[in-house]
Amino acid sequence: MTHAEASAAPPILEVRDIGKTYGSILALQGVSASVGIGEVLCVLGDNGAGKSTFIKILSGAHAHTQGKLLAYGVERTFGSPREALDLGIATVYQDLAVVPLMPVWRNFFLGSELTRGFGPFSQLDVKGMRRITKEELAKMGIDLRDVDQPIGTLSGGERQSVAIARAVYFGAKVVILDEPTSALGVKQAGVVLKYIAQARDRGLGVVFITHNPHHAYPVGDRFLLLKRGTSLGDFKKSEISIEEMTKLMAGGAELDALAHELARA
Amino acid sequence: MTLTAPAVTDERIKPAGLVIKLLRRPEVGAAVAALAIFTFFSVATQAFLTPAGVATWLYSASLFGIMAVAVALLMIGGEFDLSAGAMVGTTGLIVGIVTTEWGVNIWLALVIALAIALAIGAANAFVVMKTGLPSFIVTLATFFILQGVNLAVTKIITGTVSIQGMSAVPGFDAVKVFFGSSFNLLGMNVKVSIIWWIAITALATWILLRTRSGNWIFAVGGQITSSRQVGVPVMKVKMGLFMTTAGAGWLVGMLQLFDVSTVQATTGIGQEFIYIICAVVGGCLLTGGYGSAIGAAVGALIYGMTLQGIVFAQWDNNWLKAFLGGMLLLAVLVNLYVRRQAGVRS
């Protein structure tokens, strides 16, 4: 997928002036952003900036109360995660939805197992599932020793990647990653960033939520900066530098004031 | 990607993979113990290895084995059922009372007892799932209720604490073919319960390892929130497991009733922990998500062999309990070691 093609198609997912209120609390308002084919949208913000609310709207866990949400150019309001999933919008949560003691291939297909035969005699297509798991992981650049090992024995980065590969195999067009690197060390975080790039190169849209500009900047195409429930802007990579981004996130003036305060007299 | 030819074996898998692979199987520890106990009693006693001796301990193991396999499935699914032992008594008493006291058709009586057992199993599951209380507490309550009801109701209706005159009930012999008969094999008087035991172990193993339901049983026991997120019908799976355990209680109740033609109101009391011990000795984790049906069957075999072996050796019967406790402790330690060897991190 080339970038020329990508820009011609309508964005897979787009929000315009979107907002969400919980009773009298304004959790999010006036946020606009989009993610297209083969594009990585990074959503950055400090704690309490509205990142979780933003994911919940995109993934269908909560319906938005203001603005518009468009999938493939068509306006939608998601009533459940299932509706989002049916449109190919998959969310990989921080806990990854895996069962540590079960083999990798059983985890890969959990809830959507392949079976052969009919009625009470239908049984798992073990060979097929093992093979597909191995193939799909290989496509993500993960060369697994043994798909029969418990998924709990994989490293944090590998587990994250299995979860992404699973979402892709089951028809995801956009993958929403909820802070995939926050619990990981530098090296493991690098592994996950590589898989995000891999997913992008395979033509997927990626929404990458993080509070770390150093993770976001190398892999992102667009950056949505959130602060206290509002948007600080939606930038292309060419429009913003990592320093500016860090400054905006922390609230430039506040950071300057803090630096002044902390400086030795 | 490098330019070297793809290796057939992966250098990152240790050459000693076979040992680790064997150790990863939950039932291996129990199989080794079973072999040791079999050898010990075969050498130490005269009667153990005779056809009559073998038939005796196999029968003993079969009754515990059927329950242990069902309890193992439930434990893999992350739950306990302490009412499983009392259920054996309850179902036997129901059939006994409605046939001998009220003259209900014996086949209908079987169905009534099964329906009540399944309803109690479903009720256990419903309370556990709706309240989020530990099944240990919920089924402990069920256990005491059943224990009390078994005694009190039997006394009210029959005036005694056991069922008499079962063999005079019309159709008893026809039903006995399924639950209380035996046949000759290599000089052994093989009771039909052994066939049930083997069939149920095979069926449970197939379900666990080769069906979607089996995958879901491991999943709900291993990580319930993840299972929900990927769309596993958690409520249905747990409901099925509790009902299976109750159904197994019914089967064992029938196997005992039609074998000896009578049932005591105290039947099954105190056995619930033995089922759990057999399952744990067979490799089930108390925390759920891991275990094996074959392992539980082997655990029951160990119990059956020891129970009868001690009799054959003419030792004091009380040693059985001490032995059982020792086995349990050993099994838990072996499980811990095996899990670490298999490299399960969390």
- Predicted local distance difference test score (pLDDT) of residue B71: 96
Higher pLDDT, A258 or B31: B31
* Mean pLDDT computed over every residue of chain A: 84
CA distance B76 to A107: 16
How far apart CA B306 and CA B320 sit, in angstroms, is 7
Q: Is the dihedral of CA A138, A139, A140, A141 positive or negative?
A: positive
**What chain B residue is nearest to A116 in terms of C-alpha separation?**
B211
Determine the structural domain holding residue A254 and report its residue range: 3-262
Q: Chain B window 162-221: which residues touch A at a Cβ cutoff of 8 Å?
A: 206, 210-212, 214-215, 218-219
Query: Are the C-beta atoms of A47 and A211 separated by less than 8 Å?
Result: yes
Domain count along chain A: 1
pLDDT by residue for chain B (346 residues), tens only, comes to 334 434 344 455 554 566 666 666 778 878 888 898 899 999 988 889 998 999 999 999 999 999 999 999 999 999 999 999 999 999 999 999 999 889 889 999 999 999 999 999 999 999 999 999 999 999 999 999 999 999 999 999 888 888 888 888 888 888 888 998 888 888 888 899 999 999 999 999 999 999 999 999 999 998 888 888 787 888 999 999 999 999 999 999 999 999 988 888 888 888 899 999 999 988 898 888 889 999 999 999 999 999 899 888 888 888 888 888 888 888 778 777 766 665 544 3
- pLDDT tens profile B124-133: 999 999 999 9
Write out residues 256-275 of B within 8 Å (CB-CB) of A: none
Verify whether the Cβ–Cβ distance B231 to A124 is below 8 Å. Answer: no
- What is the 3 state secondary structure string of chain B? CCCCCCCCCCCCCCCCHHHHHHHHCCCHHHHHHHHHHHHHHHHHCCCCCCHHHHHHHHHHHHHHHHHHHHHHHHHHCCCCCCCHHHHHHHHHHHHHHHHHCCCCCHHHHHHHHHHHHHHHHHHHHHHHHHHCCCHHHHHHHHHHHHHHHHHHHHHHHHCCCECCCHHHCCCHHHHHHHHCCEEEECCEEEEHHHHHHHHHHHHHHHHHHHCHHHHHHHHHHHCHHHHHHCCCCHHHHHHHHHHHHHHHHHHHHHHHHHHHCCCECCCCCCCHHHHHHHHHHCCCCCCCCCCCHHHHHHHHHHHHHHHHHHHHCCCCCCHHHHHHHHHHHHHHHHHHHHHHHCCCCC
pLDDT at B2: 38
Predicted TM-score (pTM) of this structure: 0.82
pLDDT digits (tens, 9 = 90+) for B251-271: 999 999 999 888 888 888 888
Q: Which amino acid is at A226?
A: L
Phi-psi map region of A33: left, alpha, beta (phi>0 left; psi -120 to 50 alpha): beta
Which residue ranges form the domains of chain B, and what is each CATH number?
Answer: 50-341 (1.10.3470)
**Cβ of A171 under 8 Å from any chain B Cβ?**
no
pLDDT in tens, A202-220: 888 999 998 888 888 899 9
CB contact under 8 A, A102 and B226: no
Partner residue facing A99 (CB), from B218, B343, B345: B218
CATH number of the domain enclosing A111? 3.40.50.300
The predicted complex's ipTM stands at 0.80
Query: Residue A33 above 70 pLDDT?
Result: yes
Residue numbers in A near B13 (CB within 8 A): 145-146
Mean pLDDT of A72-86: 84
pLDDT at A184 over 80: no
Rounded to a whole number of angstroms, the distance from the CA of A258 to the nearest CA of chain B is 41
* Beta-sheet pairing, B182-185 with B188-191: antiparallel
- Model confidence at A50, pLDDT cuts 50, 70, 90, reads confident
